[in-house]
Amino acid sequence: MFAKLMIIAGEASGDLHGSGLVRELKAIRPDVRIFGIGGDRMKSAGMELVHHINEMSVLGFWDVLKQFRFFKKVYHELVDLMDKERPDALVLIDYPGLNLKLARAAHERKIPVLYYIAPQVWAWGAGRVKKMAQTVDKMAVIIPFEEKMYRDAGIDAKFVGHPLLEVIAVDLNKNDFFGELHLDPSRRTIGVLPGSRTLEVKRLLPTLAETAAAIQKKYSDVQVLISETGSVNKEVYEEILSDYPSFVRTPDHTYEIMHHSDLLLVASGTATLESALFETPLIVVYKVDPLSYLLGKALVKIDAIGLVNVIAEKKIAPEFIQNNFTKEKLLPVAEKLLFDEKNRETMILELRKIREKLGSQGASKRTAEMALSLVAKHPKAEIANDQ
């Protein structure tokens, strides 16, 4: 009997890492049927999409509240799908707001649960770990210190390495990349990565653009690259950047921007870690609606939010969050990282240590093996084997 897996990812990073997982599952078990929520990458790898991640994109508590009815509808659809399809296992990728509820629903239905890329409960309330232990059978964690924390709570957790190590690479060298965009490879370059969600781009890009333009005005040889994402309508970028004709926008070369720029201005999230793996000096920025910020400030238990700083367990990259995210505060720090060679080298040496902490390649394969081990133990699988 072929195996059925339900996988839920809710963001662009989940789609990226989930696609590697789907490919490895198909490589080990070509007959496996995989369905759930993902994006274009997971679909291309062989997954049937029930909802696309573009529908799930929200930023902050207030935005979730505004779409509460939609998320409630999606939750009930997914639970109904569990009842109808009876998957052999449920694989959850990050996205805790929805996924922790689905873990409980799956547990009630005796469907084994694997959580891949764990919720950052160490940041917003370790008390949630005990509740997770009641509904999650296995965890494939990608940050080294998480394994012990979850194991101590009674969850069968395993550090599988970081999936980014499988995909971090560039297709074009600097001369070819800059030549394609009609840029000068000898000039200092600021790369701007304002996020993968429309609300992120709308909240972050105006200030990032103002900051980059101010540096460009002061140093005429500086060039600015804007990373676009397919999940955000081009009109959003066009409206924000209409006053900056010298900026170059490209939708297809995020890793080239990270690798070949001299400084990166990056929205907090997976992109900060990707930037770190390219050893490019970076500044982390973020801004949400005021209500979400106040709630987050009350709940978050750590001093840094950038993933690069979390894994380093110290603040390597400067962070400008909420009210501190202004052009005036960003400018002097950005200038120093762009032109002060000693300052740049200090950060590059620290970034180099990040890769050493992330284990070896193969996270997707190890996670696929963990998921299929749950399938083998599922009661339905045992019945099929007896027959």
Name the band, by pLDDT with cuts 50, 70 and 90, for residue 196: confident
Average pLDDT of the residues in 62-81? 83
Kindly report which listed range (73-87, 126-140, 257-271, 282-296) carries the lowest average pLDDT score. Answer: 282-296
Give tens-digit pLDDT for 307-349.
899 888 899 999 999 889 999 999 999 999 999 999 999 999 9
Average pLDDT, the chain: 89
Which of 356, 273, 351, 354 lies closest to 307 in space, CA to CA?
A: 273
* Residue 252 CA to its chain's centroid (Å): 17
Distance CA 318, CA 150 (A): 29
| Residue 189: per-residue pLDDT | 98
Q: Which structural domains are found in the chain, ordered by start?
A: 4-163+362-386 (3.40.50.2000), 174-357 (3.40.50.2000)
Distance CA 259, CA 207 (A): 23
**21 close to 115: Cβ distance less than 8 angstroms:** no
Which of 287, 257, 288, 251 lies closest to 274 in space, CA to CA?
A: 257
Average pLDDT of the residues in 44-70? 78
Distance CA 155, CA 177 (A): 46
Name the band, by pLDDT with cuts 50, 70 and 90, for residue 164: very high
Name the pTM for this structure: 0.80
Give tens-digit pLDDT for 224-274.
999 998 889 999 999 999 999 999 999 979 999 999 999 999 999 889 999
Residue 150 CB partners (closer than 8 Å, separation 6+) = 118, 129, 132, 139, 141, 157
pLDDT above 70 for 289: no
